[in-house]
Amino acid sequence: MRPSARAPAELRPIRITRQFTKHAEGSVLVEFGDTRVLCTASVEERVPPFLKGKGRGWVTAEYGMLPRATHTRMQREASRGRQDGRTMEIQRLIGRALRAVMDLEALGERTITLDCDVIQADGGTRTAAITGSFVALADAMRYLVGKKSVKKSPLHGQVASVSVGIYRGVPVLDLDYAEDSEAETDMNVVMNDAGAFIEIQGTAEGHAFRMEELQAMLALARSGIEDLLRKQRDALGLVG
C-alpha cells in the first residue's frame, strides 16, 4: 500500500499551467501532486564562448530550490556561495534532456536557458522540471516563430520524465517524498515521444536491484511517460 493510496502504476495528479509569470518567453508551473516547479524559458541572442561563430544555438538549464520548499529549511545556495553537487547533477540532466529534442542548428546563434525553481518539494522535482521545461521551451519556440526569428520550431520531438522505484518490494511509478525517502531503489527515466530512452539513472539505495526489477521499472516508466507526453500536448493545445 502506497502512502498516497495510489496504485503502483498511478501518477500523481499532474497540472501544467502556462504563462505563470509574465516576463519569460515561456513560463510554466508544473505540479506533480504537491511538487511544484516553476520552469521559465529565456531567449538570449548570444551563445556560450565554445559555440561562438558556429551558427548553432544552445539550450541549458539551471535548477534551484527555494530554501523552504522542503520540510526543514535548507541553506540558500546563493548565501553559501556555491551550488552543491546534487544541484549541478540535476541541472546538467535537464539540459541534456532538452537538447535531445532540439535542432540546435535550426535554433541559430541563441541560448535558451531553462530556470527550474522548486516552489514546493514532495519528491520527483527533477522529473517534474524536465516535463515542465519542455512545455516552457515549446512556448519559447512559438515566440521565436511568432517574431519570425526561426521559420519553424526547432523542436523535433517531445521529452518527458518520471521516476520509478522499488517501494517495500513493489515497483512503483512517480514516487512522492514519503516513498522516495524509504525506497530501496530510485530510478529517473527520460524518454522521447518515439518511446526511446534519452537518459536512465538508477541507484540502489538499499539492496542492489535484480534484472527483473529493472525490467519492471522500465515498463512502468514507459507507460507513465506516455501519459505525461499526452498531458504536455493537452497543455500546448496540440491534437494527439
Q: Is the CB of 33 or the CB of 235 nearer to a copy of itself?
A: 33
**How many CB atoms neighbour CB 210 within 10 A?**
11
Q: Is the CB of 169 or the CB of 239 nearer to a copy of itself?
A: 169
- Residue 124 assigned as binding residue: yes
- Residue 64 assigned as binding residue: no
CA gap 174, 200 in Å, rounded: 14
Q: Does 109 contact a copy of itself by CB under 8 A?
A: no
**How many CB atoms neighbour CB 227 within 10 A?**
17
In the chain, the amino acid numbered 76 is R
The CA radius of gyration of the chain, in Å to the nearest whole number, is 18
Per-position b or e across 120-138, b if 16+ CB within 10 A of its CB: bbbbbbbbbbbbbbbbbbb
Q: Which stretch binds a copy of itself (CB under 8 A): 9-17, 114-122, 127-135, 146-154?
A: 114-122
| Strand 185-192 to 159-167 pairing | antiparallel
Residue from 102, 175, 187, 216 touching a copy of itself (CB under 8 A): that is: 187
Nearest to 171 by CA among 200, 212, 122, 141: 212
Q: Does 202 contact a copy of itself by CB under 8 A?
A: yes
Residue from 54, 68, 152, 168 touching a copy of itself (CB under 8 A): that is: 68
Q: Does 27 contact a copy of itself by CB under 8 A?
A: yes
Residue from 10, 199, 226, 227 touching a copy of itself (CB under 8 A): that is: 199
CA gap 48, 33 in Å, rounded: 36
Q: Does 207 contact a copy of itself by CB under 8 A?
A: yes
Nearest to 98 by CA among 133, 54, 57, 49: 133
Residue from 52, 53, 82, 148 touching a copy of itself (CB under 8 A): that is: 82
Give the footprint of a copy of itself on this chain (CB under 8 A).
21-24, 27, 34, 36, 38, 40, 42, 44, 62, 64, 66-73, 76-79, 81-89, 91-92, 96, 100, 113, 115, 117, 119-121, 187, 191-192, 194-204, 207-211, 214, 218
Detail the residues annotated as belonging to a binding site for phosphate.
86, 124-126
